[in-house]
């Protein structure tokens, strides 16, 4: 995690870097800093958000044309002024920012301490920087050379940007395992963890690959591998507008993104659900259709919300394609010795496309010969690039730390994949295909309908905001939505919440139920409706408070629940795309009424690029 920005060119670097860091705060926001080259190296850093640093620098001379900036999500060392990046080297001549983790930093630190180095921070970053400085002075080489030598010893993940006060308009950058984009302007260059800091200046970007090093000057970009061979930068054109990453009148990005869902789901389906031919058009699936339909097994790897999308996909793919599916936490999968058989297909789901555990999990699986199908939101991200094939979710940039619109777009893509494989394989009959095809087409409008409950959900949030715990229950296709609802609440409101299969509740969690416990039932009409009605009765019999998400007009559950939130009627397979909307809004409003920073919940970061 952590966000990095760099600039070299004729503009004032500081305001540009600050603006860029604010856009990257979703990646971490516990401390911030900048290093500027202006007749010498100046480092300013502070615990807190970018705005805190900005405020502390009012009246300070921050004039510079080359600089780097960092917004941090702590890994080594608590959030504090001294642990904030950039770090300055022992001589004070070099400054560095880092996104990632240096795993062998203790060993490197030990070597440096023996040579007399002392450290001002607890970070692995300061260790690497001084290691580079030590190599530079021992070998009497330039910074580029020293970085190259140092990185050969480094175990871990990094994007680093360095400044050297003796080389005043140059930024040295290197990457392994964390994202780095370089924007190309006229006589200027921009660097960022993603393209958002450079969007208004250029649409031409280079995605730096692992084990590459960049020497960036105003009118020069040199890309090399760690063997010092020059590489030709592959320049891509960004298809992203500035408006897409701004709040557009909403109080929070999270709310904006929740309300964007009719459009983002529509964008995701558009061109893929082809009404003229009544088929699903997905080139990523089509290219590998034989492998997909003959796969003996599908293994889905993901983390967090993306894992919940994967869990729902398990139900859907098994139902429509009759392929056994396993859903794995990427962080567990990568450290096991999983059995991957010939023909197995791995589906990797990730909004950011940079989640370290998911990335390494698929690298391992790829080494064992598996086909990797990426379901990714961020175009050009690492997971998208390493995947054998895949489909983008086209939800646009998701800035709110809690995932919302990316989740519904993931579901839309996964449904379409299942429809396509099912029909090609012959396990999905034409009439159910037609039904689900039409149901999916209607989903964007139904999401818009579900969003109309927003004001009502706000009142429900006010009623339950002081609860200490919540239980979320669902069955079948709605079970993953119960898990997702609980996760959203934990992240945004800091209220403990557990998601459970509704029937499993009797095997333990029911002991928690008393008149203080709100229980959210995801109970839209489906084949398990009668069963979930019984589960609601079991909770009511123990005086629990029931908040039920129901299909419009479900008078039976209305008569039993303390509060209901209605969503439009839909086929049970696609209904989770609707029942998840109240989950998002409930978590959002509880966070808001508690006065919390819903876009930047404590301890979290949008993109988890450390394991
Ligand atoms: C929850 C959330 C996280 C992410 C998880 C995976 O709201 O955002 O749980 O879903 O960190 O991230 P991606 O999808 O980027 O791989």
Which pLDDT belongs to residue 101? 84
Query: Which residues on adjacent β-strands are paired with residue 33?
Result: 45, 70
- For residue 315, pLDDT beyond 90: yes
- From the CA of 276, how far away is ligand 1's center (Å)? 36
Which pLDDT belongs to residue 78? 85
201-227 pLDDT, tens digit per residue, is: 999 999 999 999 999 999 999 999 999
Q: Which residues are the active-site residues?
A: 2, 606
- For residue 605, pLDDT beyond 80: no
Name residue, tokens 């250029």. Answer: 202
Q: What is the Cα–Cα distance from 360 to 350, expressed in whole angstroms?
A: 13
Ligand 1, residue 307: give the atom nearest the CA.
Answer: 10
Residue nearest to atom 7 of ligand 1 (CA): 402
Helix (H, G, I), strand (E, B) or coil at 207: strand
- From the CA of 407, how far away is ligand 1's center (Å)? 9
Mutational test site, ligand 1, from 26, 253, 304, max ligand atoms within 8 Å of CB:
304
- From the CA of 516, how far away is ligand 1's center (Å)? 30
Q: Is the CB of 491 under 6 A from ligand 1?
A: yes
Which pLDDT belongs to residue 307? 98
- For residue 318, pLDDT beyond 70: yes
Q: Is the CB of 381 under 6 A from ligand 1?
A: no
What are the two backbone dihedrals, phi and then psi, of residue 187, each rounded to the nearest 5 degrees?
70, 25
Q: Residue 64: exposed, middle, or buried by beta-carbon count in 10 A (0-12, 13-18, 19+)? A: buried
Kindly list the structural domains of the chain, giving each domain's residue range(s) and its CATH number in brackets, ordered by start: 3-243 (3.60.20.10), 250-446 (3.40.50.10490), 452-596 (3.40.50.10490)
385-442 pLDDT, tens digit per residue, is: 999 999 999 898 898 989 999 999 999 999 999 999 999 999 999 999 999 999 999 9
Which pLDDT belongs to residue 1? 66
- For residue 23, pLDDT beyond 70: yes
Ligand 1, residue 303: give the atom nearest the CA.
Answer: 6
- Provide mean pLDDT across the span 51-61: 96
Assign 608 a pLDDT band (cuts: 50, 70, 90): confident
- Provide mean pLDDT across the span 166-175: 96
Which pLDDT belongs to residue 610? 67
DSSP state of 117: -
Q: Is the CB of 74 under 6 A from ligand 1?
A: no
Assign 604 a pLDDT band (cuts: 50, 70, 90): confident
Q: What is the mean pLDDT of the chain?
A: 94
- Provide mean pLDDT across the span 28-49: 93
Query: Which residues on adjacent β-strands are paired with residue 206?
Result: 182, 235
Q: What is the Cα–Cα distance from 566 to 39, expressed in whole angstroms?
A: 63
- Which H or E run includes 192? strand 189-192
- From the CA of 596, how far away is ligand 1's center (Å)? 20
Ligand 1, residue 402: give the atom nearest the CA.
Answer: 7
Residue nearest to atom 9 of ligand 1 (CA): 304
- Provide mean pLDDT across the span 8-17: 98
Which pLDDT belongs to residue 477? 97
Residue nearest to atom 16 of ligand 1 (CA): 350
Q: Is the CB of 303 under 6 A from ligand 1?
A: yes
65-114 pLDDT, tens digit per residue, is: 999 999 988 877 888 999 999 999 999 999 999 998 898 999 999 999 99
555-572 pLDDT, tens digit per residue, is: 999 999 999 999 999 999
- From the CA of 444, how far away is ligand 1's center (Å)? 23
CB within 8 Å of 387: residues ≥ 6 apart: 348, 362, 372, 373, 374, 376
Name the CA radius of gyration of the chain, rounded: 25
Assign 178 a pLDDT band (cuts: 50, 70, 90): confident
- Provide mean pLDDT across the span 172-187: 94
- Provide mean pLDDT across the span 454-479: 97
> For the chain, what percent of residues have pLDDT higher than 90?
85
**281 and 270 in contact (C-beta within 8 Å)?**
no
* Between 116 and 245, residue with greater pLDDT: 116
Burial annotation 586-609 (CB, 10 A radius, 16+ → b, else e): bbbbbbbbeeeebbbbeebbbbbb
- For residue 472, pLDDT beyond 70: yes
Which pLDDT belongs to residue 396? 85
Q: What is the Cα–Cα distance from 401 to 403, expressed in whole angstroms?
A: 6
Structure tokens at 233: 């930068």
Mutational test site, ligand 1, from 73, 327, 351, max ligand atoms within 8 Å of CB:
351
Total H helices, total E strands in the chain:
20, 27
Which pLDDT belongs to residue 601? 86
- For residue 293, pLDDT beyond 70: yes
- From the CA of 381, how far away is ligand 1's center (Å)? 14
């Amino acid at each position: 995690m952590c966000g990095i920005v760099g600039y070299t060119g004729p503009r004032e670097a500081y305001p540009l870097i600050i603006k860029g860091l604010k856009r990257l705060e979703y990646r971490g926001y516990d401390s911030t800093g900048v290093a500027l080259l202006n007749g010498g190296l100046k480092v300013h850093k502070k615990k807190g958000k970018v705005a805190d640093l900005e405020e502390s620098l009012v009246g300070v001379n921050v004039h510079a044309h080359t600089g780097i900036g960092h917004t941090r999500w702590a890994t080594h060392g608590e959030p504090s002024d001294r642990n904030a990046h950039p770090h300055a080297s022992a001589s004070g001549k070099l400054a560095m920012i880092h996104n990632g983790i240096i795993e062998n930093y203790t060993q490197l630190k030990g070597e440096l301490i023996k040579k007399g180095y002392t450290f001002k921070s607890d970070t692995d970053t300061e260790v690497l920087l001084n290691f580079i400085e030590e190599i530079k002075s021992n070998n009497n080489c330039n910074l580029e050379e020293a970085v190259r030598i140092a990185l050969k010893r480094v175990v871990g993940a990094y994007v680093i940007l360095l400044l050297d006060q003796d080389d005043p308009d140059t930024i040295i950058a290197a990457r392994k395992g964390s994202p780095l984009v370089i924007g190309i302007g006229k006589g200027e260059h921009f660097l960022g963890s993603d393209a958002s800091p450079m969007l208004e200046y250029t649409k031409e970007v280079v995605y730096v690959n692992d084990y590459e090093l960049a020497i960036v000057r105003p009118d020069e970009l040199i890309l090399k591998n760690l063997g010092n061979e020059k590489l030709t930068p592959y320049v891509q054109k960004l298809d992203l507008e500035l408006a897409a990453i701004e709040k557009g009148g909403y109080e929070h990005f999270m709310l904006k993104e929740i309300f964007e869902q009719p459009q983002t789901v529509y964008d995701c389906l558009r061109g893929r659900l082809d009404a003229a031919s009544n088929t699903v058009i997905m080139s990523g699936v089509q290219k590998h259709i034989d492998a997909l339909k003959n796969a003996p097994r599908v293994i889905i790897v993901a983390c967090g919300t993306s894992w919940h999308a994967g869990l729902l996909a398990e139900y859907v793919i098994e139902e429509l394609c009759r392929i056994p599916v396993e859903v794995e936490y990427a962080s567990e999968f990568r450290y096991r010795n999983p059995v991957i058989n010939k023909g197995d297909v791995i589906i990797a789901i990730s909004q950011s496309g940079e989640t370290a555990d998911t990335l390494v999990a698929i690298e391992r699986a790829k080494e064992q010969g598996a086909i990797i199908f990426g379901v990714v939101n961020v175009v050009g991200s690492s997971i998208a690039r390493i995947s054998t094939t895949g489909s983008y979710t086209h939800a646009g940039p998701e800035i709110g730390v809690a995932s919302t619109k990316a989740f519904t777009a993931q579901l839309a893509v996964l449904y379409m994949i299942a429809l396509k494989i099912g029909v090609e394989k012959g396990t999905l009959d034409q009439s159910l295909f037609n039904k689900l095809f039409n149901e999916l087409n209607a989903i964007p409008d139904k999401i818009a309908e579900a969003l109309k409950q927003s004001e009502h959900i706000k009142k429900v949030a006010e009623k339950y905001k002081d609860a200490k715990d919540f239980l979320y229950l669902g069955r079948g296709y709605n079970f993953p939505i119960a898990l997702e609802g609980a996760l959203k609440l934990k992240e945004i409101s800091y209220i403990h919440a557990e998601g459970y299969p509704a029937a499993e509740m009797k095997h333990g969690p029911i002991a928690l139920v008393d008149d203080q416990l709100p229980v959210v039932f995801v109970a839209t009409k489906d084949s398990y409706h009668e069963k979930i009605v019984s589960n609601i009765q079991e909770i009511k019999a123990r005086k629990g408070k029931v908040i039920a998400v129901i299909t419009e007009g479900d008078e039976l559950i209305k008569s039993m629940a303390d509060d209901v939130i209605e969503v439009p009627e839909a086929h049970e397979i696609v209904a989770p795309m609707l029942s998840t909307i109240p989950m998002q809004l409930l978590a959002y409003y509880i966070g808001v009424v508690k006065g919390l920073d819903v876009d930047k919940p404590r301890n979290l970061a949008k993109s988890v690029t450390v394991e």
